[in-house]
Amino acid sequence: MSWFKTILLTLFLLSVWAATCVYGGVSGWFLKPIAETGNTEQFIANSQALIANKHANIAYVLIENGQVIFQDYSKSKDEITANTLFPVASLSKFITAYGVMTLAEQQQIRLDHAINEQLTGWQLPESEFDNQTVSLAHLLSHTAGLGDGLGFADIELNETVPSLLESLNKPLSSTGVREIKVTKPVGDFQYSGGGYLMLELLVEEKTNQRFATWMADNVFKPVNMTDASYDVLTELDNIAPAYDKSGQAAGHFQYASAAATGLLASSHDLIALVQALTSPQTGQLNPQMISTMREPLAISLGAPIWGLGTMLYAPTASGDFVFGHDGANEPAINSTLRINPDNNDAIIVLSSGGEHIASKLGYEWTLWQTGYPDFLAFDVALQSAFVPCLLGLGIILIGMLVVRFKKAK
């Protein structure tokens, strides 16, 4: 074999091994769950160790087969219970999607019809792309090609929140004013809080009620979410105080979109929601509609990541997906709600402080349940493949050199 052929073969083997490591990384080959499969007591003990000594208020719930089997209310300095309210940031989108799907069940809206045909008070501005191809399903799954990237700015409690139309026309993010406009081909995944502003207005137009009022009467009450609220924080009691990364008290903020990021909820509320989603007798939506919410519509790095308003964290043994939503806003908000439809197990974590502890616990739970890392942690999964990849590359190089020199003798 000539040196040229040896080099080509070596490059081929190196490429194959590198690709294998990437695939293995995102598939969880090199990751170890914090507990053995099925060992709930071990998972609880090891996950509680992750919470220890965090400067945060945390509500942590585990559900098995639709029933609560563990609750923990860790506190920094404050009294935290199952009814304590936490701002949940973008987890609000999942609840909004539940409401939108309820309207779809009632045939008041059509998921596959253009948003511009169903919305009268505001229209997508013209662009190089065809707005008539943007449906409600695209807005729910962040595949409408909207380029706003919201992320809504923090609004101090003593400031006035812009109206819904003001926010649609000039949405304010942490980096300045954005425009809600189609900037990419429809069908491409691009996270957009602006799409949920449009859904909020649609709910108000179709129901002739304030979004917050309709959601309270038609989503919260029927499933026994008795604490949940979109009211201004200053008008509510029993809200978990927040702490920043250093353990100092951090203020709460308002946000311009209730649908995208404005919900306050307790662990009691989210337990009730999980039970509605996993037990058709208690929920508003039929099982087929709930399954429809987790049909893959958005793809990233070749993996399904989003359905109709729900994150698809990782595949399950049956070929379904762990689904739900996370939320985070600096300096203190982090939340996660994740459900495994194979067994109706779930995790709920609400935190105000603790350096994204809710998403960290959600990641560990997903890995423990499925053996796969969730798509939010692809970077962690890829890092886990780094050392095995280097070792394999080294072995291939050394092996090819040995073979080549033996043939040269």
Could you tell me the residue ranges of all domains in the chain? 4-24+389-408, 31-384
Q: Which helix (H) or strand (E) holds 250?
A: strand 249-250
Mean pLDDT by 10 residues, the chain (409 residues): 73 85 84 94 95 87 96 82 94 96 93 95 93 96 92 84 90 80 93 95 96 95 93 78 82 88 96 89 74 93 92 96 94 93 97 89 97 88 84 83 68
Are 98 and 292 a contacting pair, CB within 8 Å?
no
The Cα 169–Cα 217 span in angstroms is: 28
Give the other-Cβ count within 10 Å of 354's Cβ: 26
CATH architecture of 31-384: 3-Layer(aba) Sandwich (3.40)
Are 340 and 346 a contacting pair, CB within 8 Å?
yes
Are 371 and 33 a contacting pair, CB within 8 Å?
yes
The Cα 68–Cα 51 span in angstroms is: 19
Q: Which helix (H) or strand (E) holds 169?
A: helix 164-169
pLDDT of residue 381: 79
Q: Is 373 exposed, middle or buried (0-12, 13-18, 19+ CB in 10 A)?
A: buried
pLDDT of residue 409: 58
Q: Residue 331: is the preceding peptide bond cis (ω within 30°)?
A: yes
The Cα 261–Cα 244 span in angstroms is: 19
Q: Is 405 exposed, middle or buried (0-12, 13-18, 19+ CB in 10 A)?
A: exposed
Are 267 and 61 a contacting pair, CB within 8 Å?
yes
The encoded tokens of residue 36 equal 């053995």
pLDDT of residue 59: 95
Q: Residue 296: is the preceding peptide bond cis (ω within 30°)?
A: no
The Cα 15–Cα 10 span in angstroms is: 9
Task: Give how far Cα 9 sits from Cα of 5, 101, 306, 401, Å.
Answer: 6, 54, 39, 11
Q: Strand, coil or helix: what is 126?
A: coil
Are 202 and 119 a contacting pair, CB within 8 Å?
yes
Q: Is the C-alpha dihedral spanning 175, 177, 183, 187 positive or negative?
A: positive
Which region holds residue 371: left if phi is over 0, alpha if psi is between -120 and 50, else beta?
left
Residue type, 355: E
pLDDT of residue 71: 96
Residue 232's closest CA among 95, 344, 49, 85?
85
The Cα 95–Cα 324 span in angstroms is: 10
The Cα 91–Cα 260 span in angstroms is: 8
pLDDT of residue 284: 67
Are 354 and 378 a contacting pair, CB within 8 Å?
no
Q: Strand, coil or helix: what is 285?
A: coil
